[in-house]
């Protein structure tokens, strides 16, 4: 993820320059062009539809299944897919798998999106400040960021979660700390690319203060690349959260969460392999969809393509 952030930061700087050029065309509008290109991208729209269907399913889970996700029946444990009364079978404690997957999706999506949103706000703000101000402020923020880049993201998340202990709040905190540094680097690079451009210099010469320049002239041109990179982190966040739960550093039983379900079902892989892979398939499908949507957004925002 560290190398990806570095490459994306270089692309973000070039994208910011392109955004500045396109921003002068008031007849078409940059964001209108992005929307038009995105609507023509059938692949991205398809994966957006899949994500929307999954989100709708986990939100209306009680309407799709009347089973209790925490109530088990040892007489009905590890029933196969399609068993009478259990569309996707049952887990090791006789709980309905469909219900567990729907309720587990709420926790997995929450753990996948929340750290990225928080890191997007904090990391984006720090990166914009570092890129716009420069000098000792930039040096201080970026050198602290480099310290976190010395550790692999997975190892850093495991270390922080291990130190804080399990629980949803601690997982969110550890993943937020992991994602802030790459978002700082991307936003700092994008801001550096537009800091010395003509329209920023004109605003500065007209007497506008730094806050106004950042809010009116800088943010509209750097938020795009930062947002696109943040969307690509959602899949990473979901996988890391599932991994922490699988290792016992995330959510705790009897909570329904896809990573935790993989952990509890691993002993049944030889007796009911299809049931065992269902939580993993949900993680895989969601991650692929978010990655494809992120790629589609990147292509739609790149006018050079």
What are the pLDDT digits (tens) for 74-112?
A: 888 888 888 888 889 899 888 999 999 999 999 999 999
Rounded Cα–Cα distance for residues 302 and 40 (Å):
14
For the chain, the average pLDDT equals: 85
Kindly report which listed range (1-15, 30-44, 211-225, 264-278) carries the lowest average pLDDT score: 1-15
Rounded Cα–Cα distance for residues 101 and 257 (Å):
8
- % of the chain with per-residue pLDDT over 70: 89
Q: Which two tokens stand for residue 209?
A: 């203060």
> What pLDDT score does 24 carry?
44
Helix (H) or strand (E) holding 88: none
Chain segment 178-219, per-residue pLDDT in tens: 999 999 999 999 888 888 788 888 888 888 888 888 888 888
Rounded Cα–Cα distance for residues 201 and 198 (Å):
5
DSSP-assigned beta bridge partners for residue 86: 83
User: pLDDT category, 2, cuts 50, 70, 90?
Assistant: low
Cβ-proximal residues to 252 (8 Å cutoff; 6+ apart), any chain? 166, 167, 260
DSSP-assigned beta bridge partners for residue 90: 96
Chain segment 218-243, per-residue pLDDT in tens: 888 888 888 889 999 999 999 999 99
Q: Are 218 and 191 in contact (CB under 8 A)?
A: yes
> What pLDDT score does 22 carry?
45
Cβ-proximal residues to 87 (8 Å cutoff; 6+ apart), any chain? 81, 98
Q: Which two tokens stand for residue 67?
A: 């089973």
Superfamily of domain 2-66+97-301: MetI-like (1.10.3720.10)
Per-residue pLDDT, averaged over 121-125, amounts to: 93
């Amino acid at each position: 993820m560290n190398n990806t952030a570095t490459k994306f930061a270089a692309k973000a700087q070039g994208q910011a320059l392109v955004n500045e050029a396109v921003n002068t065309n008031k007849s078409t509008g940059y964001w209108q062009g992005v929307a038009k290109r995105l609507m023509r991208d059938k692949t991205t729209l398809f994966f957006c539809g899949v994500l929307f269907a999954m989100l709708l399913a986990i939100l209306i889970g009680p309407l799709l299944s009347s089973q209790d996700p925490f109530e088990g029946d040892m007489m009905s444990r590890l029933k196969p897919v399609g068993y009478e009364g259990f569309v996707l079978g049952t887990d090791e404690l006789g709980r309905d798998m469909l219900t567990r997957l729907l309720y587990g999706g709420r926790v997995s999506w929450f753990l996948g999106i929340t750290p990225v949103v928080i890191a997007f706000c904090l990391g984006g703000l720090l990166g914009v400040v570092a890129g716009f101000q420069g000098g000792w402020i930039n040096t201080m923020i970026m050198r602290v960021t480099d310290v976190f880049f010395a550790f692999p993201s997975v190892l850093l998340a495991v270390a922080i979660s291990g130190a804080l202990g399990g629980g949803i709040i601690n997982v969110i905190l550890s993943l937020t700390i992991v994602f802030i540094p790459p978002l700082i680097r991307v936003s700092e690079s994008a801001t550096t690319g537009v800091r010395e451009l003509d329209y920023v210099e004109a605003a500065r010469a007209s007497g506008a203060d730094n806050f106004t320049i950042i809010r009116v002239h800088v943010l509209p041109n750097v938020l795009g690349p930062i947002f696109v990179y943040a969307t690509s982190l959602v899949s990473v966040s979901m996988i890391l959260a599932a991994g922490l739960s699988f290792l016992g550093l995330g959510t705790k039983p009897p909570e329904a969460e896809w990573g935790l379900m993989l952990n509890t079902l691993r002993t049944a892989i030889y007796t009911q392999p299809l049931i065992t892979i269902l939580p993993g398939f949900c993680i895989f499908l969601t991650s692929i969809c978010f990655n494809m949507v992120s790629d589609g957004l990147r292509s739609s925002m790149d006018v050079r393509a």
